Amino acid sequence: MGRGPVRRTELEALCRSLLVRMKREAFFTHTTAALLLGLPVPTRLAQLRPVHVGIPAPASAMEARDIVGHSLRIDRDDLLDWRSPILTRGELADALEKYPSRTGLTHARTALPLLRSRSESPRESMLRVIIVLAGLPEPQCNYNVFDEHGRFLARGDLVYPDYKLLPQFTDDDLRDPAALVARIRLRLRARGAAL
């Protein structure tokens, strides 16, 4: 395989062959990860090689021909998706600064501070952003609830642990955000929130 523009099937085959040599905690990163996910990448960077492989620091970066190894400081709370990390919030912010003239960057820069690592679904994120933009306190994402003896009781998509409130919502609730926010505000006030 040469160094010309990448075809996703070729990259997938190459990455599969590398998996047997990679440490268990290693992962594909940078343009390699973007290409594997089918994300848009500038043509000059959309190459089959080198393959970018990351590993959490302090482990040493992978060294091999046609591989760019990265030893990265990874804080679990900084990952945009803690179950299968793609990049850190800092890397995303750097990318937004690197391409200042790209279409949609104004919206992306506005959205960046609203991103959370523990969110697990677009619907959940949409509700959390509606709540925050309405001026309500921000709920915790995917919060485990335990009783006074430490026994697991529930896991809520969005939870206000200080007010012992788990807002329940459906797709219908998202069709009328103002009414939904009003209900959550009432429930928070009833639990002692100063709103």
Q: Which domain holds residue 134?
A: 118-190
**pLDDT(185) > 90:** yes
Strand partners, 160: 165
Asked if residue 163 and residue 84 are part of one domain, the reply reads: no
Asked if residue 161 and residue 92 are part of one domain, the reply reads: no
Number of structural domains, the chain?
Answer: 2
pLDDT by residue (tens digit) across 21-77? 888 888 888 888 888 877 777 777 777 788 899 888 888 888 888 889 988 876 544
Separation between Cα atoms, residue 116 and residue 78, nearest integer Å: 8
Q: Pull the structure tokens for residue 40.
A: 């848009």
Task: Please tell me the predicted confidence (pLDDT) of residue 63.
Answer: 86
Asked if residue 142 and residue 63 are part of one domain, the reply reads: no
Average pLDDT over residues 9-28: 85
Domain annotation covers residue 1: no
Task: Please tell me the predicted confidence (pLDDT) of residue 65.
Answer: 87
Highest mean pLDDT among 37-46, 76-85, 95-104, 143-152: 143-152
Asked if residue 183 and residue 99 are part of one domain, the reply reads: no
**pLDDT(176) > 50:** yes
Asked if residue 40 and residue 104 are part of one domain, the reply reads: yes
* More confident of the two residues 14 and 41: 14
| Tally of residues, the chain | 195
The answer to whether the beta carbons of residues 136 and 185 sit under 8 Å apart is yes
Domain annotation covers residue 175: yes
Q: Which of 48, 75, 109 is the last residue of a domain?
A: 109
**pLDDT(174) > 90:** no
The band of 138, judged by pLDDT with boundaries at 50, 70 and 90, is very high
Checking 90-93 for CB contacts under 8 A at 24+ apart, the result is: none
Mean pLDDT for the chain? 80
